[in-house]
Amino acid sequence: MNALSQPAKWERFFWPVVATGLLLALWYYSVRWTGTKVFPSPREVEKGLAELLRHHVLWKDIIDSLRRVAVGFGLAVLVGIPLGLTLGWYPAANQVVNPTMQILRPISPIAWIPVAIIFFGVGDNAAIFLIFLGAFFPIVVACINGVANVPSVYRRAGRNFGLTPPQLLGRVLFPAALPQILVGLRIALGIAWLVVVAAEMIAVDSGLGFLVIDSRNSGKRYDLVVAAILLIGAIGLILDVAFRRLETLRSVRWGFRHES
Amino acid sequence: MPSMQPIAAPLPFTVKSKLSVDRVSMVFERDGKRTEVLNNINLEVGDGEFVCLLGPSGCGKTTLLNAMAGFLSPTSGEITVDGEPVRKPDPRRVFVFQERGVFPWLTVEGNIGFGLSKLTKAEREQRIAHYVKMVGLQGFERTYPQELSGGMKQRLEVARALAVNPDMLLLDEPFGALDSITRLVMRGELLRIWEAERKTIIFVTHDIDEAVQLADRVVVMSARPASIRQIVNIDIAHPRDISAPRYLELRDGIFQQIGLAHKV
């Protein structure tokens, strides 16, 4: 295979399947050869997954996790986008808020767990608050940078056609910044999915994160732990792939590099 | 050269004045450094006239155009359009950037209709269709700029500007980024549109041939700080024969004026 040529269609599926197969084999034989009693083999994990599905608890956990992400991420979008656009639009306001934001931004949402529990008690709202925190900053920052990076020709063209400042924001700055905002949203969604699992281990008693910790605590069911972990990965991937589809919308495609 | 006129050639009596630049100077200050960009510019442009601002790169002609559009205000002096001082951008005078100015998130239709939100839907559609046709983009109405060639994007930007029915177009080296063949075609297109619509056109260029091919008058500017060296009347009817003696004479006069030897 020439490095410059496009791989053939079958190769694009074949090699990843081979790699996955090899990893599974490595896992399987590692478990066998070490004779571990704690860590499950792929086969046991598969059985564990089937067991979870049979008892109908899995769907509830998946839906609870997705619901928390939807609410927390949704709130972060609703608050973060208008705030970010405004801060990008008024650099003076941004200068006032920026130092505070730069201090809050690198804090892992996990560190907020005790604070979240004081505010909201143990329950859904605490988890949602943590997801909101995790998703909020990347969205705000993406909007600020997106607006700041809009080429001045677009602003000037907008002003030339007699737009008022709110119209300029809505009809020029927002669509011009949208590709960069989408990148921020995608990062934020990834973080939200990371945070929900952590939050569910501590603040609530349902969801995939709870499933992981509960499977361990109630009888060291590591087959279920690993099943839940793989499921978390698969759902995260699906969310990301689904979100990436937005990048192919015609009105934002210009802002992304796509192989034609 | 007898055909050359002295600085600030007066307008012919029959033409109504559209734009007047009165003793305009511009000084930029950045990091405590003063840069004088425009030095005492005086210019009258008639209604429906096609004027080229010609000068070396970086001489300040784009700054002058920006001041005419209302994006910058002069440090001293005043610019008036129809007797009204220019204070801010206005849809009656539309600035055309090099092709980069079209909005990539809108289709050809969306771009042309951008300045038409006050019209009814039917009027807007009719206006869009008219200008799509005028700039020859039929069949590309739903296409995004990313999929258009450089020349098509430039025509789209001109159409977007014309669609709001301005009195004046301010073009900033609009064909600078195009290849030389497309550029020639675009000059012909612009003249055709100008003859159909009779807008006042101020056209910034550093290309002597382009200026002499297009303009009624060529305003030759000096290097920075820019002042007007000479205003040359191009008294040749369109379409212009670019190998005619009169054309060559005017062109060579400007070459000399700018101080370029005529040999490479």
How confident is the prediction for chain B on average, in pLDDT? Answer: 86
Assess whether pLDDT exceeds 70 at residue B8.
no
The answer to whether A160 contacts B145, with C-beta atoms less than 8 Å apart, is no
Q: Is the peptide bond before B12 cis (omega within 30 degrees of 0)?
A: no
Assess whether pLDDT exceeds 70 at residue B237.
yes
| A-B contacts (CB, under 8 Å) | 53
The answer to whether B69 contacts A160, with C-beta atoms less than 8 Å apart, is yes
How far is A37 from B247, CA to CA, in rounded Å?
95
The answer to whether B90 contacts A162, with C-beta atoms less than 8 Å apart, is yes
Chain A contact present for B114, CB below 8 A: yes
- CB within 8 A of B168, min separation 6: which ones? B18, B19, B81, B92, B93, B94, B199, B200, B201, B202
Residue-wise pLDDT for B138-174, tens only, equals 899 999 999 998 888 988 998 899 889 899 999 998 8
* Top-confidence range, A78-87, B129-138, B206-215: A78-87
Question: What are the sequence ranges of the domains in chain A?
Answer: 42-255
Selected residue of B102, B103, B146 to mutate for chain A interface (largest A Cβ count, 10 A): B103
Which residue range is the domain that position B9 belongs to?
1-87+168-176+202-260
Chain A contact present for B97, CB below 8 A: yes
Residue A260: per-residue pLDDT: 43
Residue-wise pLDDT for B12-28, tens only, equals 556 788 888 888 899 98
The answer to whether A251 contacts B69, with C-beta atoms less than 8 Å apart, is no
Residue-wise pLDDT for A16-66, tens only, equals 999 999 999 999 999 989 988 888 999 999 998 888 888 777 888 999 999
- CB within 8 A of A154, min separation 6: which ones? A172, A173, A176, B101, B103
CB A65 within 8 A of CB A55: no
Residue-wise pLDDT for A216-248, tens only, equals 888 788 888 999 999 999 999 999 999 999 888
Residue B61: per-residue pLDDT: 87
How far is A197 from A211, CA to CA, in rounded Å?
9
* Top-confidence range, A6-10, B103-107, B173-177: B103-107
Considering only CA atoms, which of B108, B132, B135, B112 is closest in space to residue B189?
A: B135
Assess whether pLDDT exceeds 90 at residue A77.
yes
Residue-wise pLDDT for A130-184, tens only, equals 999 999 999 999 999 999 999 999 999 999 999 999 899 999 999 999 999 999 9
B32 vs B93, higher pLDDT:
B93
Assign residue B39 the CATH number of its domain: 3.40.50.300
Residue B7: per-residue pLDDT: 47
- A160 vs B95, B100, B145: nearest CB: B95
How confident is the prediction for chain A on average, in pLDDT? Answer: 90
Q: Which residue of B has its CA nearest to A152?
A: B101
Chain A contact present for B46, CB below 8 A: no
Assess whether pLDDT exceeds 70 at residue B6.
no
> B-chain residues within 8 Å CB-CB of A170?
none
Chain A contact present for B28, CB below 8 A: no
Assess whether pLDDT exceeds 50 at residue B215.
yes
- Chain A: residues touching B (Cβ < 8 Å): 151, 153-154, 156-157, 159-162, 171-172, 175-176, 178, 250-255
Residue A158: per-residue pLDDT: 93
Confidence of residue B5 (pLDDT cuts 50, 70, 90): very low
- Count of the separate structural domains present in chain B: 1
Assess whether pLDDT exceeds 90 at residue A68.
yes
Confidence of residue B3 (pLDDT cuts 50, 70, 90): very low
Residue-wise pLDDT for B75-98, tens only, equals 999 999 988 898 999 999 999 987
Q: Identify the burial level of B25 via C-beta atoms within 10 angstroms of its C-beta, where 0-12 means exposed, 13-18 middle and 19 or more buried.
A: middle
Residue B2: per-residue pLDDT: 44
Q: Is the ipTM of this complex over 0.95?
A: no
The answer to whether A157 contacts B95, with C-beta atoms less than 8 Å apart, is yes
Assess whether pLDDT exceeds 90 at residue A251.
no
Domain-embedded: residue B48 = yes
Domain-embedded: residue B32 = yes
pTM: 0.83
- A162 vs B69, B71, B91: nearest CB: B91
Q: Identify the burial level of A5 via C-beta atoms within 10 angstroms of its C-beta, where 0-12 means exposed, 13-18 middle and 19 or more buried.
A: exposed
Percent pLDDT > 70 in chain A is 97
CB B73 within 8 A of CB B89: no
Domain A42-255 part of CATH 3.40.50.300:
no
Q: Which residue of A has its CA nearest to B108?
A: A251
